[in-house]
Amino acid sequence: MADSWQDAMEHAVNVARRAAALVREALREDRKVMMKSSAVDLVTQTDQMVEQLIIQSVKEKFPTHRFIGEESVAAGEPCVLSDSPTWIIDPIDGTTNFVHKFPFVAVSIGFYVNKQVEFAVVYSCLDDKMFTARRGRGAFCNGEVLRVSDQEDIRQSMIATEFGSNRDAEVVERIFSSMRKILCIPVHGIRGAGSAAINMCLVACGCVEAYYEIGMHVWDVAAAALIVSEAGGVLMDVDGSDFDLMSRRVVAANCRSIAERIVREIDVYSPIRDDAPPPPADEALPPEHKH
Ligand code: IPD
């Protein structure tokens, strides 16, 4: 069985490279932008094309495998992780970056069996960084072993986070409040790449000590979570409990003490879980517009 997952992982790496070629090509052309849950939650035809490319190519090789894909879920597919081998796909993590040509965009593929992650591929495709991990076998970037930072003093740390795509006044206030408190610990700085998966790979590389966010989705973190843990990092919920893939809340850090220190400063709230039943189908689709 182990060998068949190796085969699947090689397939994931290859299809991520093919997907990235589409992303790079699309960056040279006009990108048609559509809105999803809000005016700042964006999707493009490239997200949809790339997801279809990945799903079709996996289906041909592994016809019994299942999928949770960002754009398939947006189109009404259920977001349910069963015990079956399941590919969790974000075709473009960093869609807003992609729309604006802000150069951090990743193709993210996490592979789960019995609800446990087996391998992960995050291809940061504009700087050609292929992050991979296999459970129990380490994390790598372009074949080089990754190790988290050994800094344990939060006051000498760099923290990554994001503003996300929720613009409710109360949520925005909580985001700023958490950020203000963490900044004033003080930490050396706060950064954000605009892609949850890339932020987590930055933790795995030791470029930042931690990343936290409330509001990202399962497909943003399903692969990068393994890359962090295989690089020696820790994952937890923003309230300090165990990391829950579907809860849309994460702290990923180089060590437990930094993760727990951050947890103390986060104004916690609970977005609708990814595995919650879908909203009624009659909600109007937002209009398309050109960027
Ligand atoms: C988004 C990015 C962003 C994060 C959002 C995610 P997408 O994913 O990862 O950094 O702040 O929460 O939804 O929409 O570009 O795949």
> What per-residue confidence (pLDDT) applies to 31?
80
User: Contact at 8 Å (CB) between 86 and 67?
Assistant: yes
> Which residue's CA is the closest to the ligand 1 atom numbered 16?
93
Peptide bond into 186 cis (omega under 30): yes
Query: Which among 139, 145, 142 has a CA at the least distance from the CA of 229?
Result: 139
Cβ burial, residue 235 (10 Å; 0-12/13-18/19+): buried
Q: For residue 208, what are the β-bridge partners?
A: none
Ordered structural domains, the chain, with CATH: 6-145 (3.30.540.10), 154-263 (3.40.190.80)
Segment 159-180 mean pLDDT? 97
The pLDDT > 90 percentage for the chain reads: 89
Pairing between strand 158-161 and 189-191?
parallel
Q: Which atom of ligand 1 is nearest to the CA of 90?
A: 16
Query: Which among 8, 31, 234, 227 has a CA at the least distance from the CA of 129?
Result: 227
Segment 26-39 mean pLDDT? 87
Q: Pick from 44, 47, 93 the residue to mutate for probing ligand 1's pocket: most ligand atoms within 8 Å of its CB.
A: 93
More confident residue, 98 or 281: 98
Q: How far is the CA of 213 from the centre of ligand 1 (A)?
A: 10
Segment 246-271 mean pLDDT? 98
Q: Pick from 89, 105, 199, 217 the residue to mutate for probing ligand 1's pocket: most ligand atoms within 8 Å of its CB.
A: 217
> What per-residue confidence (pLDDT) applies to 71?
93
Residue 1 pLDDT more than 70?
Answer: no
pTM of the model: 0.94
Q: What are the catalytic residues?
A: 70, 90, 92-93, 95, 220
More confident residue, 35 or 251: 251
Angle between helices 169-183 and 256-265 (to 10 degrees): 130
Residue 192 pLDDT more than 80?
Answer: yes
> Which residue's CA is the closest to the ligand 1 atom numbered 2?
195
pLDDT tens per residue across span 115-153: 999 999 999 999 999 999 999 999 999 999 999 999 999
